[in-house]
Amino acid sequence: MSYESLNVERLAGRYSSLERAGLLPLPSNDGISIVVELSRMECATVCLPLLLLHSGATVRIIAVSMTPNFPIEVLARQFSPEEPVLFLPYEKEEYMPNLALAHIETTFAVLLEDSIMVSPGWLSELMWVSFDDASVRVVAPRSSTERGEGKKRLHFGTHHELADHVSYSLGRYQGEWREVEVLTGSCLLFTKELIQRIGGFDASLQARYLMIADWCLRARQIGAKLALSEAVYVHAIQSLDRYLRTKEESKQTNGWQTYCKKWAFESGIGNEEILVPATETLNFPHPVIPLGRMPLVSPLVTAIVYFDEAKDCDELTQQWIAVQEQQSYKHVRWIWIRDTSVDATPEFTVSEHDVVITVRGEDAWLRALKNASALYESEIILYLSTSILYEKRYIERVMKAITQGSADLIVSLSTEMEEAGVHLLAGGDSAVTLPLERVAYKGGIVPGMISNRKSTSRQLLLHPKASLVIGYIGDLSDSKEAHP
Residues 156-211: tens digit of each pLDDT: 878 888 888 888 888 888 889 999 999 999 999 999 989 888 889 988 888 999 99
| pLDDT of 17 over the 70 cut | no
Residue with the bigger pLDDT between 472 and 130: it is 130
Lowest mean pLDDT among 299-313, 334-348, 432-446: 334-348
- Phi/psi of residue 29, each to 5°? -100, 0
Helix (H) or strand (E) holding 218: helix 208-221
Q: For residues 100, 106, 107 and 110, what is the CA-based torsion angle, rounded to 10 degrees?
A: -40
Say if residues 399 and 380 touch (Cβ distance below 8 Å): yes
| pLDDT of 421 strictly over 70 | no
Amino acid letter, 18 = L
Contact 112, 187 (CB under 8 A): yes
Res 32 pLDDT > 60: yes
Q: How confident is the model at residue 249 (pLDDT cuts 50, 70, 90)?
A: low
Preceding peptide of 25 cis, ω within 30° = yes
Looking at residue 189, its pLDDT comes to 97
Is residue 69 predicted with pLDDT exceeding 50? yes
User: Residue 235: exposed, middle, or buried by beta-carbon count in 10 A (0-12, 13-18, 19+)?
Assistant: buried
Q: Kindly indicate the confidence band of residue 483, based on its pLDDT and cuts at 50, 70 and 90.
A: very low
Residue 473 near residue 467, CB atoms below 8 Å: no
Write down the pLDDT at residue 481: 33
pLDDT number for residue 344: 52
Q: Are the C-beta atoms of 140 and 228 separated by less than 8 Å?
A: yes
**What does DSSP say about strands 116-117 and 225-233: parallel, antiparallel, or unpaired?**
unpaired
- Chain center to CA of 421: 18
Q: How far apart are CA 443 and CA 446, in angstroms?
A: 8
Strand bridging mode 355-359 / 332-339: parallel
The secondary structure of 368-424, three-state, reads HHHHHHHHCCCCEEEEEECCCCCCCCHHHHHHHHHHCCCCCEEEECCHHHHHHHHHH
Residue 289 CB partners (closer than 8 Å, separation 6+): 98, 198, 199, 200, 201, 202
User: What is the band of 96 on the pLDDT scale with cuts at 50, 70, 90?
Assistant: very high
Residues 6+ apart with CB under 8 A from 452: 366, 458, 459, 460, 461
User: What's residue 323's pLDDT?
Assistant: 67
HEC readout, 412-432 = ECCHHHHHHHHHHHHHCCCCC
| Mean pLDDT confidence for 139-162 | 87
Closest by Cα among 435, 395, 430 to 411: 435
Closest alpha carbon to 140 in 129, 132, 153 = 129
Alpha carbon distance 114, 87 (integer Å): 13
Q: What's the rounded Cα separation, in Å, for the pair 109 and 111?
A: 7
Give the predicted TM-score (pTM) of the model: 0.62
